[in-house]
Structure 1
C-alpha cells in the first residue's frame, strides 16, 4: 500500500512505528455539507465563509458569484441570456433567476464532493420559499447577530483603513442595508427554526477566532450526525433523520405504512398518536427506505434499537384504513354536517367513561372540540379530552347514556323571573342595607308620618 502524509514530520513519525498507525479504524466517509451564513453588513459573514472554505476546501458562493459563474461558464444558455438582459437594462436580477443561477452553481464538483458555504443568503422570506421549492436547504444556517451601533463603528474603522475603504461603506447605504435585513430576518429565523431546526445564532461581538470555533463545532456535530446516518443505513439499521433537512414533499413521498402515526405507540399501547400536528422531524427515523415519525425521544430510541418489531410484517397492530381513523372537526364543519346529530346527545364520552360512568360525569361537550369517527360525531369537554379520544377512539365510541340525564341548563334572563325572584336576585342586598340604615338612623321628615318618611328614605337610598 502507498500512504500519503500532510507533512515531512508526519512521514517520519509514521516510519518509526507504521503498525501503530495502520491498525486503526478506517476514517468515516467525507460528507459534503451545505451551510449558509447571514447577518447584517459588517458582521463578518464573508470573513467566516472564506476561512471555512479555505481550511476545509469548500466552495464559498455568494449570489453574485453564482450569477457570474453562469455568465462565464454558460454564456449562451437561456438563463445566462436572460440574466444579461436584466443587467444591461440596469435592473436587479429577480429572485427567481438568482435561485436558478444558484442551483446551477451548486452542480459544481466541489459542492458535490466537499460542500459549499453560501455567503449572505437568504435575506427575505420570498427567497426562503424559492430555495425550498428548489430543494436547496442548508444543513446549518448561522446568523451573526449584531446591533446597528456596532455596524457603524466597524464601518468607521474600515474607512480609516485605506485597504478596505469602499463607497458601499457610507452611513446612508449601511443604514438602508441594515434596516432591510432587520425587517426580514425575524420571519426567516422563525421559519427555519420551526421547519428544519437548522438555525444557529452567533454573537458577532466576539472575536473572529471565537466565532470561527463556534461555527466549526456546530458543523462538526452536523457532519457527525450525517456520517452516523449513512453508516446505519448502510448496515441496514434504522437511522435518525433529524438533521437532514428533508423537505415536506420528500417526507410525504417516503412515509412508511403508518403515515405520520407513531408505530411504537401503536404497537405497545394500541394508541393512535398523530405526529402530523408538528412538522418537526426531531423524532423521525428512516428504515428500509421509508420514513417513520415517533411521538417522543423515548419512542424514537426504542424504534432505533429494534425497528423490525414495529413495522410489518412483525408489527402487532396494523394502521386502520383512512376511513376508520378519527378526524378532528371545526365548529363550522360540525354545523355543516346537519342534520347529523352528535353521539351521546352531545355529552363528552371521555369524561363520562373516565368518571366511571357516574351521573356526575355527564358533562356537555363544547362544539369547538369535536371529532368524527366511523361516520359519527363526538363532542368533548376540552382539548385534552379530544386528544385522548383521538388516541383510543374504540375505547370511547360505544358508550350508552343512562335513563336519567341531568336537566338542561339554559340561561334565563333576569327580567323573566317572577316578582319575588327578581327582587331576590336583583335588589335584595341593596334593600337590606337600606332597611338597616332606616333602623339605625330613624329619620323623621317634617310634616310627614314616620311610615312615609321611612319609605322616602329607602327610595332615596336605593336610587
Structure 2
C-alpha cells in the first residue's frame, strides 16, 4: 500500500462516478478516490439556480444542455444510482463526505480544502512513519474491509493495548471505522480509543510479539456474543448459574441480593458454556474479562423464581393494592382536601359517596361516555355539598325579609330542603 502511495498521482475528478458501472471501472483500474465530496441540495434549489444561470450575462457563447427538462432527467438518473454508490464507498473505503451546497461558494471551498488538507497530512505522516519503521495511523487511507482482514496482526480485531495493560479483550470489530487503527511491520491493528492509539503509535514494540505480555487466546477460548435467536437455537443447553447474571453477582461481592436473573437479549458463549446477563453493560464487561466471571459457584440458597400471577388470582387485599390502590389514593386525597358534606347525610356517608363517584369517573376500563356521565354526577354532588356552607354563611345573624335576602338564596334553600328524604340513588 505504501508503494502505491509513493507513486500516486493526485487528480480531481468532477462528476464521476455517477453509476455503479463507473465505480467498477475505477476499481478495475485500481483507482480509489481518496475523498469523495457530495454536494447536497434539493431539486427546487437546483432548478432555481438553473433559471438564474439562464438569465446571467456571463453565459458562454455556445449552447449548453442545462434546460429544466434536461436537468430534471439528470436529477432523476442521479437519484436512481447515487444510493448504491454512496453505500459502496462508505462501506468499502469510508471516504464519502457530504457538503451542504446551500452555503456560500467560499464556505464550500474552505470546507473542501480543510478536508483535503487533513487527508494529505494523514498520507504524508503515514509515508514518513512507515519509511522510518514506526507505527502509523491508517485512518482516511481508503483501506477496504477485505484488505483489513487480510493484513490483520496477531490480535485480530482485538485491541493489543487493552490486552497488554489491563488484560481486557476489547473487540473492535463492532465498528467498521479505522479511526483508531494503525499499521506496524506490515500488519494492521485496531485500538479501542484515541488514548490506546497514541500509546501504540509511541511504543508499538511492547504491544506486539515477542514483547507483548499477553497473547490473544485461541478462537475457541474467545467469548462470543449471542442473540436471543441464537440462545433459543442452543436448546436444550442450559445457562450457567441457572440463568443468573455472573457479572452482577461477582461485582455485588457474591451477596444474596446480587443474584439477579439475566435477560436472553444479552447472552454470550464462552468455553462451550452459555451465560445470560442483566444488561448490555454487564455483557460487555464479561466480554472483556471472561476469565474473571466464568467459573462462579451459586450459593445453596437462591431467590424464588419470579412467575407472573394473574391479578384476579390475588387475595382481596393484594388485588386492591395492585389494581385499585392508585385510584383510591387519589379519591381519598380529594376527599381530605375538599371535606364534602351532603345535606342530611353524615360525613362518613358523604365521603363514601364521593369516593364511589370519583372511582367511576376515573375508571380507565370504562368507556369514555360512562366516565363523562360520572364526572357530571360528581360535579352535581359537589354542587349540592356546597349548599351547606353557603346557607350557613347566608343565614347567620337575625332573620331577613325575602326582599333583603341575597339573589338565589330562596332557590338554594328549597334545593337544600328537597334533599331531606333523598337516598343514594338521587344522583
The TM-score, its normalising length taken from structure 2, stands at 0.69
- Once the 2 structures are TM-superposed, how far is the Cα of residue 450 of structure 1 from its aligned partner? 15
> For 1:321 and 1:295, how far apart are their aligned partners in 2?
20
Q: Secondary structure at the match of 1:200?
A: strand
Answering whether residue 82 of structure 2 is matched by residue 188 of structure 1, we say no
- Once the 2 structures are TM-superposed, how far is the Cα of residue 343 of structure 1 from its aligned partner? 0.6
> For 1:454 and 1:213, how far apart are their aligned partners in 2?
75
Q: Secondary structure at the match of 1:257?
A: coil
Shifted more, 141-150 versus 189-198: the winner is 189-198
Residues 125 and 188 of structure 1 are in contact (CA less than 8 Å); yes or no, is this contact kept in structure 2? Answer: yes
Residues 344 and 401 of structure 1 are in contact (CA less than 8 Å); yes or no, is this contact kept in structure 2? Answer: yes
1:397–1:129: structure 2 CA closer, same or farther, 3 Å change rule? farther
CA deviations 1:83-137 (Å, max 9, x no partner) are xxxxxxxxxxxxxxxxxxxxxxxx99999956x3222133467866886788643
Residues 92 and 143 of structure 2 are in contact (CA less than 8 Å); yes or no, is this contact kept in structure 1? Answer: no
1:403–1:133: structure 2 CA closer, same or farther, 3 Å change rule? farther
Rg larger in structure: 2
**Greater RCO (Cα-Cα under 8 Å, separation 6 or more):** 1
Answering whether residue 265 of structure 2 is matched by residue 265 of structure 1, we say no
User: What are the within-5 Å matches in structure 2 for residues 83-102 of structure 1?
Assistant: none
Q: Secondary structure at the match of 1:169?
A: coil
CA deviations 1:287-320 (Å, max 9, x no partner) are 1111111111111111111111111111111000
> For 2:203 and 2:185, how far apart are their aligned partners in 1?
13
Residues 152 and 189 of structure 2 are in contact (CA less than 8 Å); yes or no, is this contact kept in structure 1? Answer: yes
Q: CA RMSD in A?
A: 4.6
1:344–1:160: structure 2 CA closer, same or farther, 3 Å change rule? same
1:271–1:170: structure 2 CA closer, same or farther, 3 Å change rule? same
Q: Secondary structure at the match of 1:372?
A: strand
Answering whether residue 204 of structure 2 is matched by residue 303 of structure 1, we say no
The TM-score, its normalising length taken from structure 1, stands at 0.64
> For 1:452 and 1:200, how far apart are their aligned partners in 2?
74
Residues 194 and 280 of structure 1 are in contact (CA less than 8 Å); yes or no, is this contact kept in structure 2? Answer: no
Shifted more, 142-151 versus 233-242: the winner is 142-151
- Once the 2 structures are TM-superposed, how far is the Cα of residue 416 of structure 1 from its aligned partner? 1.5
Shifted more, 442-451 versus 175-184: the winner is 442-451
Residues 132 and 247 of structure 1 are in contact (CA less than 8 Å); yes or no, is this contact kept in structure 2? Answer: no
> For 1:457 and 1:149, how far apart are their aligned partners in 2?
63
- Once the 2 structures are TM-superposed, how far is the Cα of residue 381 of structure 1 from its aligned partner? 0.4
1:363–1:158: structure 2 CA closer, same or farther, 3 Å change rule? same
> For 2:198 and 2:46, how far apart are their aligned partners in 1?
46
CA deviations 1:323-349 (Å, max 9, x no partner) are 000000111111111121101111111
Residues 2 and 127 of structure 2 are in contact (CA less than 8 Å); yes or no, is this contact kept in structure 1? Answer: no
Residues 294 and 300 of structure 1 are in contact (CA less than 8 Å); yes or no, is this contact kept in structure 2? Answer: yes
CA deviations 1:419-445 (Å, max 9, x no partner) are 554355445777899999999999999
Unaligned 5+ segments in structure 2 are 360-427
Which one of the candidate residues 248, 255, 259 is aligned to 1:362? 259
Q: What residue is the counterpart of 1:446 in the other structure?
A: 343
Residues 170 and 288 of structure 2 are in contact (CA less than 8 Å); yes or no, is this contact kept in structure 1? Answer: yes
- Once the 2 structures are TM-superposed, how far is the Cα of residue 232 of structure 1 from its aligned partner? 1.4
Q: Secondary structure at the match of 2:81?
A: helix
> For 1:348 and 1:341, how far apart are their aligned partners in 2?
14
Q: What residue is the counterpart of 1:415 in the other structure?
A: 312
1:112–1:151: structure 2 CA closer, same or farther, 3 Å change rule? farther
- Once the 2 structures are TM-superposed, how far is the Cα of residue 261 of structure 1 from its aligned partner? 0.4
> For 1:246 and 1:386, how far apart are their aligned partners in 2?
31
Shifted more, 426-435 versus 319-328: the winner is 426-435
- Once the 2 structures are TM-superposed, how far is the Cα of residue 144 of structure 1 from its aligned partner? 2.7
> For 2:117 and 2:341, how far apart are their aligned partners in 1?
94
Shifted more, 355-364 versus 224-233: the winner is 224-233
Residues 144 and 204 of structure 1 are in contact (CA less than 8 Å); yes or no, is this contact kept in structure 2? Answer: yes
Which one of the candidate residues 383, 404, 411 is aligned to 2:280? 383
Unaligned 5+ segments in structure 1 are 1-106
Residues 158 and 169 of structure 2 are in contact (CA less than 8 Å); yes or no, is this contact kept in structure 1? Answer: yes
Residues 195 and 280 of structure 1 are in contact (CA less than 8 Å); yes or no, is this contact kept in structure 2? Answer: no
